[in-house]
Amino acid sequence: MEEKKEPTGEPCFVGKKDELIQAKRSFRTIEGRDILIIHHQGVFYAMDSYCYHAGGALQTGDIEELNGKLCIICPNHKYKITLAQGEGIYKASDPREKPPVPRWYSKGVKQRTHTVTENNNGDVYVKLSDIAGWIESDFYQGEKGKIERERAAAEKDS
Ligand code: FES
């Protein structure tokens, strides 16, 4: 069984601010973890690169404000994940309500997010999340995660 590697806690240089802004979405591997860095409306965000649901690549997901929160929408099955917290949100209505009114609900944090900082020289760093315990997007990281992503992709295509 693969050991879960603990992050060193050291911020890792991921690029120059100007380049990251221009790119809008940047993929980096930090300590074996695949991370998506997003620049949107003047703010940097970083999260695990593969969707917690079935390992979809979030890099090409649209970003929309939903229920007052900026979310990335996974291209695979349209799951919505808040950029700031990695919260999974969904809209549903209670059929017992007459008439049913669709509302937003939270599934809690599903996608691991990371901390982005920058210095005065325009260098940008990502510090990996050190939140203990399991967050669902952990499943698709590392060597084992690669196998799981391939398995999920094969199921989607079949
Ligand atoms: Fe992202 Fe299914 S893989 S919504």
Mutating to test ligand 1, I would choose from 59, 62, 77, 80 the residue with most ligand atoms within 8 A of its C-beta, which is: 77
Taking CA 24 as the corner, what is the angle to CA 27 and CA 8, rounded to the nearest 5 degrees? 40
pLDDT at 93: 94
Q: Evaluate if residue 13 carries a pLDDT over 80.
A: yes
Distance 99 CA to ligand 1 centre (A): 30
Going by pLDDT thresholds of 50, 70 and 90, the confidence category of residue 5 is: low
Q: Evaluate if residue 114 carries a pLDDT over 70.
A: yes
CATH, residue 75: 2.102.10.10
Flag whether 3 is in a domain: no
Distance 102 CA to ligand 1 centre (A): 22
Going by pLDDT thresholds of 50, 70 and 90, the confidence category of residue 1 is: very low
Flag whether 2 is in a domain: no
Helix residue spans in the chain (DSSP H): 17-23, 142-157
Flag whether 93 is in a domain: yes
Which atom of ligand 1 approaches the CA of 55 most closely?
A: 3
Distance 54 CA to ligand 1 centre (A): 5
Task: Indicate if the alpha-carbon torsion angle 88, 14, 39, 131 is positive or negative.
Answer: positive
pLDDT at 79: 98
Task: Indicate if the alpha-carbon torsion angle 83, 26, 130, 116 is positive or negative.
Answer: negative
Which residues surround ligand 1 with Cβ inside 6 Å?
51, 53-56, 74, 76-77, 79
State whether residue 142 is helix, strand or coil.
helix
Which atom of ligand 1 approaches the CA of 51 most closely?
A: 1
Lowest-confidence region among 40-49, 77-86, 91-100, 117-126? 91-100
Distance 13 CA to ligand 1 centre (A): 29
Flag whether 136 is in a domain: yes
147: Cβ–Cβ under 8 A, 6 or more apart, which residues?
none
Distance 137 CA to ligand 1 centre (A): 11
Which atom of ligand 1 approaches the CA of 56 most closely?
A: 3
Flag whether 54 is in a domain: yes
Domain span at residue 60? 12-157
Residues 42-70: tens digit of each pLDDT: 999 999 999 999 999 999 999 999 999 99
Share of the chain above pLDDT 90, in %: 89
pTM above 0.85, yes or no: yes
Q: Evaluate if residue 3 carries a pLDDT over 90.
A: no
Distance 11 CA to ligand 1 centre (A): 29
Domain count, the chain: 1
